[in-house]
A and B are shown apart, each in its own frame.
Chain A
Amino acid sequence: MDIFESMQNAWKVIVRNKMRSFLTMLGIIIGITAVIIVLSVGESVQGLILNEVKSIGSNLIGILPGHAEEDGPPSAAFGVVITTLKYEDGEAILNSGYEHIESLAMYVSGSDIISLNDKKASATFYGTTASYPDVQNSIVEKGRFFTKEEEIGNAKVVVLGSKVAEDLFDDQEPLGMKIKIKKTNFTVIGVLKSKGGGLIQNEDTNLFVPIKTAQNVLLGINHLGFIRVKVDKPENIDGTMEYISGILRDRHNIDNPSEDDFNVRSVAQALETIGSITNALRFFLAAVAAISLVVGGFGIMNIMLATVQERTKEIGLRKAIGAKNADIVRQFLIEAVTITFISGIIGIITGALLLFLISTVVNAMGYYWELIISPWSIILGCLVSIGIGLIFGIAPAQKAATLNPIEALRYE
């Protein structure tokens, strides 16, 4: 009995009852689709995080106002305005001369409609320090970043993210032009080089003004959004975090760490949080995959039992003309596997299409998302679909093989 003939038979079974076949195959299709997505999304998220590390560096420490539990998000993340972190705190950390601190940048942010003549765009602006490009690994493509003097001197200058520059100026030369933020004119002095979208911050769509200007002129506040510290080597991150916490406790007169009105965390930690969220999603999908594969498997078993019933006479004939029990088992197993394998292929294609859709949507939202369809997921998808066919096909196949040929030939 050749494999090809059994596969042809399976194909005929599928085609003869298209609706029934489709419904039976659905469970396997959904299951394999989920398998493909689970495995491939994992790699894409890895890529996303790696890209993040590449764009802002893994040796950054963030200081946020407000207390936070070890693993929980800082309260600032929920939009609570906390005013405990000040410009002077940042200066103090920098001036302490701690050997592993390379540089430090401070930030406040707000968003507004910015306008150039009659052109308008909605954008997030950051008030930051002159050290920003150094801390963030940003490159100024045109013009320059603002200086320390401008930082503290309420200078009305602005550096644009590449996307903002493009949206507002098209091919026009932006340097020296004036744009309006919160009804105040700012002179464009520089444009940053594009980094591509990031998960924590998308620099390309931001504007940067001196921090004092942002605090005094645009926002009317004297606290900071957050501070970032660049550490010389990744292995010094933990020590530096301790050191910074010490300075801030001193300055804020805090004795007990549980009363901290700030929290210090590394970028690596923040990325781990993102990773753990996507992991939870993957576990959910993996559960969906497992359940649909089992349910799908029973569906296959059901259709194969029906097929055996329908073809009782054929089985009797095959046995009469010399088929051994093993031949019959093999025939029906191959049929079951063909059905699950075809379902698997459809699942792989569906999964790939969904991944393509995800990457298109996520990229359109400005994040970095590489379309990865992991070859392992395809191999695993094929193996799993074949395995399901074998596991759930064996019982119907054995039932077929043990039919009494005389009874089977008489069956009408």
Chain B
Amino acid sequence: MLIRVKDLEKDFINDEVVTPVLKGVTFDIDKGEFVSIMGPSGSGKSTLMHILSFLDKPTGGTYFFEGRDVSQLSDDELAEMRSKKVGFIFQSFNLLNRSSVLENVILPLVYTDTSASERDRRAKSLLEQVGLSHRLNYSPNKLSGGEKQRVAIARALINDPEVIFADEPTGNLDSKSGAQVMKILQDLNDKGHTIILVTHEKSTAEHAERIIRVKDGNILDDCKVDCRLRADDEEELRK
């Protein structure tokens, strides 16, 4: 078992007004799964992803990652988990335009004790895998959206993470680039990577073999691909 969450709660407190965002979420994710967390904006799916990826701490419930109780970890230990266990792909890419493509991919290794030559070797190999070895010294703002997201994927993979979190990875891409990115994620999953995809788009979510639908801080349903989403559910989610 890679991830086990039980009765996970998260409240946001703003000027003494408590807003519950997650109201007791329970599920497990195994190593090697490709899971979509799907829901409309405000459903709590992003907050759930932030907690799963060690960026945020729950206010209630338990979260075990590889059998380790995450709620007991210090800030530095959480940073180390982010450094070693997870890779991120963001909707808005979050590349540093002042650095080259190669430097962007290397960035996560800067916070580890990997040697410079090893960093270079791994980054170049990954950029070759995503078909960008001819763009090593480009600034990211010279690249197309699809290329940027492929750089981000290479960056997410550089630490050889247990889980890749993709937050609306196709949200800023045209359909062709989006399909290309989804193909890469699919390939990564085929190679054994665990992928957790957060999206509000049904078509994107359906690339996963399992879809967890979230609404108003609760899990609406959690089913394998064979239970296709029904049209009326779609309606319900739009409300």
Contact = CB atoms under 8 A, between A and B. Distances in A.
Interface of A: 1-2, 5, 9, 12, 313-314, 316-327, 405-406, 409
A359 B50 CA distance: 65
A327 to B, nearest CB: 6
A2 B112 CA distance: 10
Given A326-B76, A406-B56, 8 more contacts: A1-B111, A2-B110, A314-B96, A317-B96, A319-B82, A322-B84, A322-B159, A325-B79
B94 A317 contact: yes
B83 A321 contact: yes
A322 B83 contact: yes
Contact of A319 (B79, B84, B98, B155): B79
In order of increasing CB-CB distance, the 8 nearest A-B pairs are A322-B83, A321-B108, A324-B79, A322-B111, A317-B94, A322-B82, A324-B76, A323-B111
Contacts of B83: 321-323
18 contacts: A2-B110, A314-B96, A317-B107, A318-B111, A319-B55, A320-B82, A320-B88, A320-B94, A321-B107, A321-B108, A321-B111, A322-B79, A322-B80, A322-B108, A322-B111, A322-B112, A324-B76, A325-B76
Given A5-B110, A406-B55, A406-B56, A321 B88 contact: yes
The secondary-structure label for the interface of chain A is helix
A320 B111 contact: no
Nearest to A323: B111
B73 to A, nearest CB: 12
Contacts, number: 58
Nearest to B103: A5
Contact of A1 (B88, B90, B110): B110
Interface string B80-106: 101110001010001010100000000
Contacts of B110: 1-2, 5
Contacts of A318: 107, 111
Contact of B111 (A9, A313, A324, A406): A324
Nearest to A317: B94
B75 interface: yes
Interface string B205-234: 000000000000000000000000000000
Contacts of A406: 50, 55-56
Nearest to A331: B110
Contacts of B88: 320-321
Nearest to B75: A325
A326 B83 CA distance: 14
Residue from B88, B90, B110 having most chain A Cβ neighbours under 10 A: B110
Contacts of B111: 1, 318, 321-324, 327
A320 B75 CA distance: 12
